[in-house]
Amino acid sequence: MKVLRDPLGRPIKRLYFKTEELDDRCEPIIREFMDRRSGGFSLPIPTDEIIRMIEADADDLDMYADLPEGLDGFTEFFVDRKPRVQVSARLSDPRYENRLRTTLGHEYGHVWFHAPLWRQFGKHPDRRPATPSWVCHRDTSCGRSRK
Amino acid sequence: MKTFGQVLTEARKGAGLTQREVASRLRREDGRPVDPPYLNAVEHDHRYPPEDHLIEQLAKILGISADVLYFHANRQPADVKTEGDQARVEAAYRAFRKVLGVKLAGKRK
């Protein structure tokens, strides 16, 4: 956790990982997944493996979502079920394969690290979020409430 | 009751395949490949269930009975579309309801 300040200067705790910590946590996830499901880990990681990982841990993945220009993907969190991930249909163009992989990896980070916290808080009435869901936009990587 | 898209999605995930992988193995009647966005739209119930020949291919690729897919598509498999007389059709639907554990809804003349 890292203590940040809100616009009024009040301390707020935020989940925070250093790059090395993320590497240490993320590499075993994909390695274990591919060992278990795909006959072994190999590089480069196939895009379809990242898709499979998201589909295994998310409630829904829409790879061809009609998202606004500049928005590559977003993850919607819920207190009572797994998250829903949307990726822009624009990224299905083979020219954007690398951007697609980056976006899928980014969204999977939300699915793996953030969604369980969201569901955990949802179990406590006094800590339950004010809105039923929360959307993280890929372009800003920060939240926006949505009713 | 689950929708066709939900059943298709569950079967695909169960087979360990992505939409891209399934779409690459599907062929339309004229030999053209199926676009992954089309399959995605069907899975999200934004499009009607596909034509019979695609349902047959999906069943083989995903290792699911085509009858189950037809059932959730609210269609009958081609081989049961026969000129059965009224009594046999009624008997067939009675047996169908019995196995499914459902009762005839409302009264019929």
Whether residues B40 and A37 touch (CB distance < 8 A) is answered with no
Average pLDDT score, chain B: 91
pLDDT at position B109 is 47
DSSP codes of every residue in A73-113: EEEEEESSS--EEEEEGGGGSGGGHHHHHHHHHHHHHIIII
Lowest mean pLDDT among A89-103, B48-62, B72-86: B72-86
pLDDT at position A80 is 83
In this predicted model, what pLDDT tens digit does every residue of A12-34 receive, in sequence order? 887 788 889 988 989 999 999 99
Amino acid, res. A109:
G
Q: Provide residues of B within 8 Å CB-CB of chain A.
A: 13, 16, 18-21, 36-37, 40-41, 44
For range A86-96, the mean pLDDT:
94
Q: Token pair for residue B65?
A: 């009975």
Local structure of A30: helix, strand or coil: helix
pLDDT at position A141 is 44
> From the list B13, B16, B40, which residue is nearest A64 (CB)?
B40
Whether residues A51 and B18 touch (CB distance < 8 A) is answered with yes
Chain B contact present for A46, CB below 8 A: no
My answer on whether omega of the bond before B36 falls inside 30° of 0, hence cis, is no
Local structure of A57: helix, strand or coil: helix
- Residue A142: pLDDT above 50? no
Do B66 and B59 contact (CB within 8 A), yes or no? yes
- Residue B60: pLDDT above 60? yes
> From the list A48, A52, A63, which residue is nearest B40 (CB)?
A63
Whether residues B40 and A62 touch (CB distance < 8 A) is answered with yes
Whether residues B44 and A63 touch (CB distance < 8 A) is answered with no
pLDDT band for A133, please (50, 70, 90 cuts).
low
In this predicted model, what pLDDT tens digit does every residue of B7-41 receive, in sequence order? 999 999 999 999 999 999 999 999 999 999 999 99
**Closest chain B CA to residue A58:** B13
Amino acid, res. A22:
L
pLDDT at position A30 is 93
Can you tell me the distance from the alpha carbon of A123 to that of A126, in angstroms, rounded to the nearest whole number?
Answer: 9
Looking at the DSSP bridge assignments, the partners of residue A135 are A76, A144
In this predicted model, what pLDDT tens digit does every residue of A51-64 receive, in sequence order? 999 999 999 999 99
Can you tell me the distance from the alpha carbon of B63 to that of B27, in angstroms, rounded to the nearest whole number?
Answer: 17
The tally of CA atoms less than 13 A away on the side-chain side of residue A131 is: 10
CA distances to A66, A80, A114 from A117, in Å? 28, 11, 5
Do A138 and A107 contact (CB within 8 A), yes or no? yes
